[in-house]
């Protein structure tokens, strides 16, 4: 087995390769003056069992094109099997036609990944696991909650209470809570489909004097976490922590969460960010072994 760390996941790819004692194959890549990507494998992959690890953030569109180019090149150059690992799969939130006329983005992208020749597809905490049903090839969602739960378990939290911002993410809260032997619950989040404005509500839970942890698949603007954190502070939480698998953290997210009273934010290295302190490498390595 050989591992090809894509340009967006060089560190993570090498970490995974190290854990499964596999050779890594470098990619030469550069941008043409007009911004197009150039990619070249540094050695033959003929007959090889290849694992490509390439995340799709930041610069989702560019990273997705690179993913398709590399996968197609690997097959075209004679790789026996290509397993594609996309730690963060972009465009996954648009998994339904919420309003008439909308593009169902994730379905289109999964079709393209399959058409590029991938034999198997792996991702971590895709927004909705059921979307992987669009694939005809083997596709699997890995749970980032395993490594997040383990990390939280080592933090010595005081009487933790785990909450997801909405019902859709309740399984994330449940999995983390079960690892910690903690209580869990969820808020109710609504998003205005036109303005994008978020409202987070919920019946008060008894978090007085506790460490409340909000868990979600991703943090983008931090608005969801900030709204939930304000309620938790109102309800008397001693500390409010936020943990996510994919810390996209668009401009201003960290300040927004801090101003709402969030004491600490944690994320994994499915995308790199200043808070990507929890590695999903052991999770991916375990699956590949």
| Closest distance of CB 6 from ligand R5P, Å | 24
Helix (H, G, I), strand (E, B) or coil at 153: helix
Which of 30-55 are b and which e, b meaning 16 or more Cβ less than 10 Å from the residue's Cβ? eeeeeeeeeeebeeebeebebbbbbb
Site for ligand R5P in 173-202 (CB under 6 A): 198
- Long-range contacts at 271-277 (CB < 8 A, ≥ 24 apart): 271/55, 271/57, 271/58, 271/87, 271/88, 271/246, 271/247, 272/11, 273/247, 273/248, 273/249, 274/249, 275/247, 275/249, 276/247, 277/151
Q: How far is the CB of 245 from ligand R5P (least distance, A)?
A: 10
The Cα 189–Cα 58 span in angstroms is 26
Cβ nearer to ligand R5P, comparing 71 with 224: 224
Paired strand residues for 123 = 86, 141
Give min distance, CB of 202 to ligand R5P, in A. 14
As measured in angstroms, the least distance from the Cβ of 224 to ligand R5P is 3
Q: Which of residues 213-242 bind ligand R5P (CB under 6 A)?
A: 216-224
Q: Which of 62, 136, 167, 189 is catalytic?
A: 189
160 touching ligand R5P, by CB under 6 A: no
Q: Which residues pair with 3 in a beta bridge?
A: 24, 51
Per CB under 6 A, 247 contacts ligand R5P = no
Instruction: List b or e across 119-158, with b for residues whose CB sees 16 or more CB atoms inside 10 angstroms.
Output: bebbbbbbbbeebbebbeeebebbbbbbbbbebbeeeebe
93 touches ligand R5P by CB under 6 A: yes
Q: Is 75 a catalytic residue?
A: no
Least distance CB 271 / ligand R5P (angstroms) = 13
Q: Cβ-count burial of 220 within 10 angstroms (0-12 exposed, 13-18 middle, 19+ buried)?
A: middle
How many other β-carbons are positioned within 10 Å of the β-carbon of residue 60? Answer: 17
Q: Which stretch binds ligand R5P (CB under 6 A): 13-21, 73-81, 101-109, 210-218?
A: 210-218
CB-nearer residue toward ligand R5P: 209 or 252? 252
Pick between residue 127 and residue 239 the one whose CB is nearest to ligand R5P: 127
Nearer to ligand R5P among residue 83 and residue 233 (C-beta): 233
**Cβ at position 239, least distance to ligand R5P in Å:** 20
Q: Which stretch binds ligand R5P (CB under 6 A): 55-63, 72-80, 212-220, 273-281?
A: 212-220
- Interacting residues with ligand R5P (CB under 6 A): 93, 165, 169, 198, 216-224
Active site residues: 189
């Amino acid at each position: 087995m050989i591992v090809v760390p894509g340009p967006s996941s060089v560190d993570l790819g090498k970490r995974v390769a190290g854990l499964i004692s596999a050779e890594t194959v470098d990619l030469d890549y550069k941008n043409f003056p007009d911004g197009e990507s150039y990619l070249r494998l540094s050695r033959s992959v003929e007959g090889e069992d290849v694992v490509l690890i390439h995340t799709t953030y930041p610069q989702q569109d560019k990273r997705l094109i690179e993913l398709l180019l590399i996968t197609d090149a690997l097959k075209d150059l004679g790789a026996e099997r290509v397993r594609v690992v996309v730690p963060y799969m972009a465009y996954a939130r648009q998994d339904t036609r919420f309003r008439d006329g909308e593009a169902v983005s994730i379905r289109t992208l999964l079709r393209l990944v399959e058409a590029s020749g991938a034999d198997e597809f792996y991702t971590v905490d895709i927004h909705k696991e059921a979307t992987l049903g669009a694939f005809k090839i083997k596709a699997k969602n890995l749970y980032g909650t395993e490594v997040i739960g383990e990390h939280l378990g080592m933090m010595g939290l005081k009487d933790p209470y785990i909450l997801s911002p909405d019902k859709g993410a309740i399984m994330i809260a449940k999995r983390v809570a079960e690892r910690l032997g903690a209580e869990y619950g969820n808020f109710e989040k609504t998003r205005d489909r036109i303005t994008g404005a978020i409202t987070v509500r919920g019946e008060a839970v008894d978090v007085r004097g506790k460490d409340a942890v909000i868990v979600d698949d991703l943090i983008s603007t931090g608005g969801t976490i900030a709204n939930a954190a304000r309620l938790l502070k109102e309800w008397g939480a001693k500390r409010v922590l936020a943990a996510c698998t994919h810390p996209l953290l668009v401009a201003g997210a960290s300040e927004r969460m801090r101003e709402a009273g969030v004491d600490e934010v944690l994320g994994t290295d499915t995308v790199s960010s200043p808070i990507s302190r929890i590695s999903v490498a052991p999770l991916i390595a375990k699956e590949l072994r």
